[in-house]
Amino acid sequence: MIRLEQEPRPRRVKALGVYLGMGVLAFALTGGVFAAYGVSPWEVYRALLEGTLGERQGLAEVLRRTLPLLLIGSGLTLAFRVGFFNIGAEGQLLMGAVGGAAVALFLPPGAPSLPLMFLAGAVAGGLWALPAAWLRSRVDVNEILTTLMLNAVASAFVLYLVSGPWRGEQVQGYTYTDAFPDAASLPVLGDTLVHWPTGVLGAVLAVALQVLLTRTSLGYALRVVGASPRAARYAGLPTGRVVLLTGLLSGGAAGLAGVGEVAGIHHRLLDPTQLSLGYGFTAIIVAWLARGHPALVLLTAPLMGVILAGGDLLKISFNMPFRVIDVFSGVLLFCLISGEALARYRVRWGR
């Protein structure tokens, strides 16, 4: 007789084996999608690796896609560790872009422009996450629903700005603002779109959040609230304030990513569908792979950067829609979540 038995604390080797197995399953399932298009999965995966990591331009595209994932993923890793499931990073990114654009468009340009843009973006992104965090801490409203709905509100707000009061004076028939001044534009590596200051900021943030989480008394409170809110309340920890702080930090990190996109690539505020290629949702996988350790985002963000950069390659080389990458990301996340559950069970034989 075969039965499943719960194992609350699985061995690390077993958990790693389960996750690797589910990752292989995700690649196999996605390979079936490629085969349905009449393309060999092996050819697709080979072209994806060679076109992204084997060429200079492809590597630059991977780095460009990695930058926002690094910032957003660091904040979401912290939020997930605390048990605050922030699914609204996409909207927080957009609001961060609005904050940065406001500084670039309406304040005199100068040396303080970029620091003020990042500050305004972090504040805007953090404040956009605050209502969901407040509702969760005060009346226990599910933050997955509230943050997800706020994404749609943020998108509509940005579209209103670029097609209404902030629409550029020199544009004709387009929905975007005037170009930012040079003082409000981030430097890039050579002729690429890799705005390296955002990468430095993302690396510093990932390490800083890791230190905060593991080496400080505040980090201890964050970990306890995430592990057992009831035990945290019994110990006298301010769980409500911890959730609010977590919302501010994770939303602020997404807001920084929004500033990086408008100041490093677009140099203007534009339609939300062009501003973000789903970075807020892809960063959920980045954070989940990091397993509650913000520093590991330094490894998981480039992995998803390769997958995102491969979307354009598949579109050009195999005439496949770019959104097939969304299928891959969804299957990967589904398999990882399934692996999380399977790792906590063991198979028993006999009575």
pTM, entire model: 0.91
Residue 308's pLDDT is 85
CA distance 208 to 327: 33
Structural domain that includes position 129: 69-308
Residue 331's pLDDT is 85
Give the number of domains in the chain. Answer: 1
Q: Which residues of 22-44 are buried (b: 16+ CB within 10 A; e: fewer)?
A: beebbeeebbebbeeeebebeeb
Residue 335's pLDDT is 85
42 in any annotated domain: no
Residue 311's pLDDT is 76
- Where is 293: in which H helix or E strand? none
- Contact criterion met (CB below 8 Å) for 85 and 143: yes
101 in any annotated domain: yes
Q: What are phi and psi of 191, to 5 degrees?
A: -100, 20
CA distance 176 to 133: 31
- Contact criterion met (CB below 8 Å) for 305 and 65: yes
Residue 333's pLDDT is 79
98 in any annotated domain: yes
- Contact criterion met (CB below 8 Å) for 132 and 147: yes
- The per-residue DSSP string of 189-255 comes to STTS---HHHHHHHHHHHHHHHHHHHHSHHHHHHHHHHH-HHHHHHTT--HHHHHHHHHHHHHHHHH
265 in any annotated domain: yes
Residue 175's pLDDT is 84
- Contact criterion met (CB below 8 Å) for 270 and 163: no
21 in any annotated domain: no
Residue 254's pLDDT is 97
345 in any annotated domain: no
Cα separations (Å) of 128 from 73, 74, 121, 123, 132? 17, 17, 11, 8, 8
37 in any annotated domain: no
301 in any annotated domain: yes
Residue 2's pLDDT is 65
Residue ranges of the chain whose pLDDT lies below 70 = 1-2, 4, 8, 322, 347, 349-351
- The per-residue DSSP string of 118-178 comes to HHHHHHHHHHHHHHHHHHHHHH---HHHHHHHHHHHHHHHHHHHHHTTT--SS-SS--B-P
